[in-house]
Structure 1
Amino acid sequence: MRPIWPLYLLFLVVAGAIGGTIAYSFLGESLAALGIPDPGIATTFGLPFFRAVGWMLAALSAGSFLFAAFLISPRLPGGDNARLTGASLTVDGHLASRTGAVAALCFGLVALLMIPLVLSDVSGTPLVQTLGPEALAVALEQVAMAQVWLIVALIALVTGATGLMSRSWITQPLLLLGSILMIIPLGLTGHSSSGGDHDFGTNSYLWHLIFLVLWVGGLMALLAHGRRLGPDLDIALRRYSAIALFSIIVMAVSGLVNASIRIEFSDWFTTRYGLIIVAKTVGVIILGIFGWLHRAWVVPKVQADPTDRRLFHQVAIVEVLVMAAVTGIAITMGRTPPPPPREPNLSQMATQLGYELYDKPTILNVWGMWRFDLLFGTLALLLAAGYLHGVYRARRTGKSWATGRTIWWLLGCTALLVTMSSGIGLNMAATFSAHMVGHIILSLVVPVLLVLGAPLTLLMTAYDSGPPDRPGIYDWVRAFTRSRLVGIITHPVVNTVQFLVFFYVMYLLIPLYELMISEHAGHLIMNTVLLVSGCFYFWGMLGPDPIPYRRPAPVRLGWLAASLPVHLIFGIYLLQLDTILGEEFYRSLLLPWELDLLADQHTAVLFWAAGMVPLAVVAFLLIRQWPGAGGDARGSEEKTTTDTGERSLVHHDSPGTGTP
């Protein structure tokens, strides 16, 4: 077994050195454009160097947790895949998880170092003068990017510390989620988050970064596994190959979208910023060729002889070096001023929202407005495509699937797409009433439609359990539905509290609401929280997908009835509130039509009241599940802890689950 840490160190140094060297060579132009003095080489070289190192560490963390969770198998007692929830990690899984934890901790330390580096960079002060507690306090109080790095550091350190204490398989998907969350704040900042079309820029950048760390990190984890002669490299490589193919497609599309927003194509070869984009594009094309080599040459060779790993090592090492170089090149974009904007005189509205609104929204004209939402619109299309693929796969293998559930799911995807890409989504950021309409649809309408589609049950129908000691998609989904965390979240008390707290805290804490609506990042966070919270709430309340314990229909109906007064009370609160929520921000938009903000806020109460309609539909569906009300409710109320019980839920439509 050969040590992997020298290669990790090589990858970090290559990424950092390339990022630091290119950024330093462009220093004069950057400082002149920003109008700040030279802070010294410790900052001008050190900031891009450590930023590139940080991204490689973040990728290593995410890829290692991905590897431990899904690319290799854990230790299953007796090889029984049904016992996946209690499985412990194998030696190789433990090594990968520990690598991910250490990488997250190191990334957290780099993030802390970035705080004084950022202050030194924006102020032109030498780095040594920004290391004291007073200077750091100033940075965290006045420099937005320093605050972002602090948030990143906290998430990374928590993820890393938790990973060091983890020994079970069930925690690895959560650690993978934590490793992705720690880069999200960075995806919400930079050139993409400012100027015209910054909604497109930020959303495309998020897609780009998430799949970048999975792609780069997954290959580093595979390389480590191969060097320590771990088992099942052929299986891990095959699974990673599918992830890598999807990742490079997403990165290529999102990168082109982001570049087209920032600069004209004519600037690609005539400006330094454009040349960086060209170099990055060439690097991605080269990496695409490496990906093709893996699928066409390396994977078949490893599958034919899993003990012969020389070809894989040679290709993977060179590929990761190219990845490190591309990462270093990409980092310099944050330090290089882009060409002047196409529209140098952006309106206040375009600066704040990223786009212009010309007409006052009405019930009719919102459907004629359209601006595709790159985050939620793309998510809706991917969810629809993935579901239809699952239905196709299930029926191809001779298993039945209710058409009604497919219709529910597609209606949910359509509602998400239309809401976020039509005039509703466009005006959500501009008026409180439109925000409330979007709020109701995202938290009450879309989740109900999606959970009635039973996506987890579809996955367990479309895929069979893996071979003994080799769990696959069916086993991962079943383990998720039986996990202790899901049992806690879907408990009526916990589920109701999380739903109502997320629902109301941003309105009751008026400064929080005003902070959230003032930034595109705040809108993304609010919309994501509303959608996810609603899906968990109605999954436990109504969804036909199995959960650790589903309460009888009368209990769930009482649970719903108990939460209704809170909705009514909040509507009364809004109606009587004289304070205008987000007044300063809404007035700063300078909308081209007259808008009485207080009247608009009171109008929002009507839309809030309309939220009772989907809740009434939920109540009706729960009544249908009532024992003796036209069907046997056992299918949705039984305790789903045995394989037989789960199979009955998977391969047959449970009567009384709300499916027509």
Structure 2
Amino acid sequence: MDEQVVAVSTDKVTDKVTNKTPVRNTWPLYVLFIAVAGVVGAVLAWGFLSESLAALGIPDPGPVTTAGLPFLRAAGWILAALSAGSFMASTFFITPRKTGDEGTNPSYLNKAYLSVDGSIAARTGAVAALCFGLIALLMIPMVMSDLSGQPFSDAIQINNIMIAFQQVALAKAWTWVAVFALITGAAGLFSKRWISQPLLLVFSIIMVIPIGLEGHSASGGNHDFGTNSLLWHLLLMLLWVGGLMALIAHARRIGPNMDVAVKRYSIVATYAVIGMTISGIVNALLRVEFSDLFSSNYGLLVVAKAVGVVVVGLFGLAHRMTSIPKLEKNPRNATVFTRIAIVEVLVMAAVTGIAISMGRTPPPAPLQQDLSVMALEMGYSLEKEPTLFNVFTMWRFDLMLGAIGILMLAMYVRGLVVLRRKAKKWNHLRTFWWVLGCITLVVTVSSGIGMNMPAMFSMHMIAHMLLSMVVPVFLVLGAPLMLIMESVDPGEPGRPGLHEWAAVVADNPLTKFLLHPAVNTIQFIVIFYALYLTPLYETMVSEHAGHLIMNFVFVISGYLYYWEMIGPDPKPEERTHVSRLAWLVFSMPFHLFFGVYLMQLQVVLAEDFYSQLALPWPVDLEYDQLVGGGIAWASGSFPLIIVFGYLFRGWFREERTNERTYEKRAQETDFADADEYNKMLARMNQGHDLHGDYYSETFGERSGEAARKDKE
């Protein structure tokens, strides 16, 4: 995955310069990490085979599936981590080639090509993603064999694979994993510029999400907590382990700026350890009682995994105490870091194997089980009918968007603290809007509004309007990109940092495309119509994953729309207030008609799903949908009217500014423009030929023939 010959060309490193430290290949270590994770997962899963089969009530599928499924899944996770970590390195840890305008162009990274080390890291991420995609394809019949108890040789037949596609949720998840992974890998092989690396990093993270939405945590009671905590756990592990493997490879090929790379990774690792610990504790408490930790196989695996995470955390502490200080003195001397990091990844590979075996080991039965349809479908049961007041007394913290809202608020406050230390001024009204946006986000998804959102169409529509129409307005007015660029100093030439990354977010080809008024308006309107005018809504509302995806889409779509409309943050192209007003007026009828359409709709959306919930209070689904349509009509137009007023005021200020500019220029030129204009009007009143007068004044008393030639 990384070649010694190419690596040697980095800065023309020689043995003399690097204290006789040879450039070494890293692929044998990748194989070792995969083998450790796979063997640990396979051995543990085999040891708990009888308990698993008894709990699931299925026959033994045979040794190929029994050992192969956990081995391949553990190997796949290591490859996914390697892919994400490599793209993270090529994006944030390894500086690209210099473009020559680093000091004058804040968004110079748009044109920057990857360095040799960055290209190797990107290619490693691409190959790892392709390998992960192939494993995902192989996992489809493997999952079918595991769940049905039939041998793998039978499950791999085309008829059984088609059944898996249609009926087995886990097989569908692996199908989506394969699609995302193969696309990511293929695109990564042809990536040459830095600007493509952030997108590849995002896709390398997305490709594992379908698996995080399945398993023990995605079923039964409290599965909303279980799924969200598991997603946090897996994604943080992906960046933690993957980033460390990428740094090991960078160090073994004597890559430049190793000290900067390790410092940046250290920040990622610190937050990853904290996040994994919290999410792991939450997920474990949902599955086992404290008394089951040492009395059940699942509990023992939880304890073993927790011990492994602590050990890896201690390795991270060792890096901070020993490796980083030595790298600061001599960035080329990465020997100590590499030795500790290799052992750290080996321990984490073993922890990964333990985690994989947990997926095939049934957790102990809970002491109190809620087997109601609501609990099985939503993860919890509702007891009170929502009203205007009690929705704010109900509370069930959303571990995904609720946690993101708190993190955004904390990071904003940190930026303000940095600004204050630098004695820089900041508009307090922007702080007010950002705080209000974060609070509104947390309250929307965690209060009775978010709790009742999956159970009633009217509550779903209230949450939809808040997440797409209200929260984004508050957030864009907080100007987060401006805060980053004000609080963080530009990096050294050729060593971009957070300041330059924020500048690229504000000005890059993708942002320019998305913020084009036509594209932006269409995406914002299409979200409404595509969701509710097609069978997509019934599919999404019946799954926790669907709710999660909808909430993210609502917030992101709204943020993009209002960023272009009223956001003070820099944009690729700043349009006039008149232009934005025109696009807003164009879009308003579509929003208003959408609510009217819902109120007149004769078919109840997702009727089967809502009917089976059996809420403890009577619900007229037709009337509830009518109320939801009224909410969409009223609340959808209200924010747009506010935005209309904001743009109109901006237009007025823009005109006043132009007027003052004209008056200043007129005074400086002694009103020469006004005098010339008055003379022109006077000539028009006298019936003079303005064109002839112009040429006469321009060329003086030249002959008529010369004047005619000049006119021609």
Distance 2:40 2:656 in 1: 67
The 10-residue stretch of structure 1 (485-494 or 82-91) with the greater mean CA deviation from structure 2: 82-91
Select the residue among 607, 611, 628 that pairs with 1:587: 611
Structure with greater Cα Rg:
2
Superposed CA deviations along residues 74-104 of structure 1, whole A, max 9, x for unmatched, are 0022371532110000000000000000000
Q: What is the correspondence of 1:602-617 to structure 2 with a 5 Å cutoff?
A: 602-608=626-632, 609-617=634-642
Match of 1:4 among 26, 30, 34: 26
Cα distance in 2, alignment partners of residues 488 and 632 from structure 1: 29
> What is the 5 A alignment of 1:74-473?
74-78=96-100, 80=102, 82=105, 83-473=108-498
* Preserved CA contact (<8 Å) 1:503 1:530: no
- Counterpart residue identity of residue 50, structure 2: G
1:538 and 2:583 aligned? no
Shift of 1:630: 7.8
Contact 2:581 2:647 in 1 (8 A): yes
**Paired letter, 2:250:** H
Match of 1:71 in 2: 93
Q: 8 Å contact 2:517–2:583 — kept in the other structure?
A: yes
Q: Cα gap change, 1:628/1:153 in structure 2, threshold over 3 Å: closer, same or farther? A: same
Amino acid at match of 1:42: V
Matches of 1:627 and 1:612, distance apart in 2 = 22
Give the 3-state SS of the residue equivalent to 1:611 in structure 2. Answer: helix
Q: What secondary structure sits across from 2:100 in the alignment?
A: helix
Q: Shift of the alpha carbon at 1:307?
A: 2.3
C-alpha displacement at 1:570, in angstroms?
Answer: 1.2
Q: Alignment partner of 2:397: what SS?
A: coil
Deviation digits for residues 553-603 of structure 1 (CA, Å, limit 9, x no counterpart): 011011111111111211121111111111111111110000000000001
Maintained 8 Å contact 2:294/2:300: yes
- CA offsets per residue over residues 14-65 of structure 1, 9 Å max, x none? 0000001100110011011101110110000000000000000000000000
Amino acid of the residue matched to residue 474 of structure 1?
H
Q: Which residue of 1 aligns with 2:57?
A: 35
**What is the match of residue 515 of structure 1?**
539
1:624–1:631: 8 Å Cα contact kept in structure 2?
Answer: no
1:610 Cα deviation from its structure 2 partner: 2.0
Worse overlay, 77-86 or 274-283: 77-86
Choose from 10, 16, 26 the match for 2:38: 16
AA in 1 matched with 2:201: L
Instruction: Give a deviation string over 1:95-137, Cα, whole Å, max 9, x none.
Output: 0000000000000000000001001101111111122222211
Q: Within 1, Cα distance between the matches of 2:297 and 2:656? A: 69
Map of 1:57 onto structure 2 = 79
Distance in structure 2 (CA, Å) of the matches to 1:144 and 1:214? 26
| Whole-angstrom distance in 2 between the partners of 1:633 and 1:87 | 38
**Conservation of the 8 A alpha-carbon contact between 1:623 and 1:629:** no
Q: Alpha-carbon deviations, 1:356-383, whole Å to 9, x = none?
A: 1111111111111111111111111000
CA contact (8 A) 2:40 2:350 kept: yes
Percent of aligned positions with the same letter in both sequences? 55
Comparing 258-267 and 619-628, the one that deviates more: 619-628
Q: CA separation in 1, counterparts of 2:629 and 2:57?
A: 48
Q: Does 1:569 align with 2:593?
A: yes
Contact 2:221 2:370 in 1 (8 A): no
Aligned twin of 1:624: 649
Partner Cα separation in structure 1 for residue 451 and residue 504 of structure 2: 39
Which range moved further: 80-89 or 142-151?
80-89
Secondary structure, aligned partner of 2:437:
helix
- Is 1:62–1:214's contact at 8 Å kept on the other side of the alignment? yes
CA deviation vs aligned residue, 1:238-271 (integer Å, no higher than 9, x gap): 1000110000000000000000011111101100
- Structure 1 residue 341, shift from structure 2 partner: 2.2
Letter of the 2:49 partner, please give it.
Answer: L
One-letter code of the match for 1:31? L
Residue type matched to 1:402 in 2?
N
User: Following the alignment from structure 2 to structure 1, what is the Cα–Cα distance between the partners of residues 257 and 520?
Assistant: 40
Contact 1:456 1:545 in 2 (8 A): yes
Match of 1:491 in 2: 516
1:469 match: secondary structure: coil
1: distance between equivalents of 2:272 and 2:374? 34
Q: Pick which of 363-372 and 433-442 moved more.
A: 363-372
Unaligned runs of 5+ in 1: 635-660
Distance 2:416 2:487 in 1: 7
Counterparts of 1:578 and 1:550 in 2: how far apart (Å)? Answer: 43
More off after superposition, 377-386 vs 605-614: 605-614
Q: Which amino acid aligns with 1:530?
A: F
Aligned equivalents of 1:48 and 1:202: distance in 2?
A: 20
Distance 2:183 2:36 in 1: 28
Matched-pair contact (CA < 8 Å) for 1:625–1:633: no
Q: Write the distance in 2 (CA, Å) between the matches of 1:257 and 1:169.
A: 37
Residue 628 of structure 1: how far off its partner (Å) = 4.1
Contact 2:596/2:630, CA 8 A, preserved across alignment: no
For structure 2, the residue ranges without an aligned partner over 5 or more in a row are 1-22, 660-712
**In structure 2, C-alpha distance between the alignment counterparts of 1:138 and 1:352, rounded to whole Å:** 24
CA-atom RMSD, angstroms?
Answer: 1.2
**Aligned equivalents of 2:50, 2:614: Cα separation in 1:** 38
Report if aligned partners of 1:18, 1:328 keep a CA contact under 8 Å in 2: yes
TM-score (norm 1): 0.95
**What is the alpha-carbon distance in structure 2 between the residues aligned to residue 633 and residue 453 of structure 1?**
27
Shift of residue 499 of structure 1? 1.0
> 1:648: which partner in 2?
none
The structure 1 residue matched to 2:621, chosen from 597, 618, 635, is 597
Provide the TM-score with structure 2 as the length reference.
Answer: 0.88
Query: For residue 619 of structure 1, what is the amino acid of its counterpart?
Result: F
Distance change (3 Å), C-alpha of 1:561 and 1:6: same
Choose which of 487, 490, 502 in structure 2 pairs with 1:477.
Answer: 502
Distance in 2 of aligned mates of 1:475 and 1:152: 32
How far has the Cα of 1:504 moved from its partner? 2.0
Deviation at 1:619, TM superposition (A): 0.8
Q: Deviations over 1:184-240 (max 9, x none)?
A: 111111111111111111111111111110000000000000000111111100100
Distance in 2 of aligned mates of 1:631 and 1:326: 65
Asked if the contact 1:625–1:631 (Cα under 8 Å) also holds between the matched residues in 2, the reply is no
1:343, distance to aligned residue in structure 2 (A)? 2.2
User: Partners of 1:261 and 1:131 in 2: how far apart?
Assistant: 35
* Count of paired positions: 633
Amino acid corresponding to residue 96 of structure 2 in structure 1: P
Q: Is the 8 A contact 1:625 1:632 kept in 2?
A: no
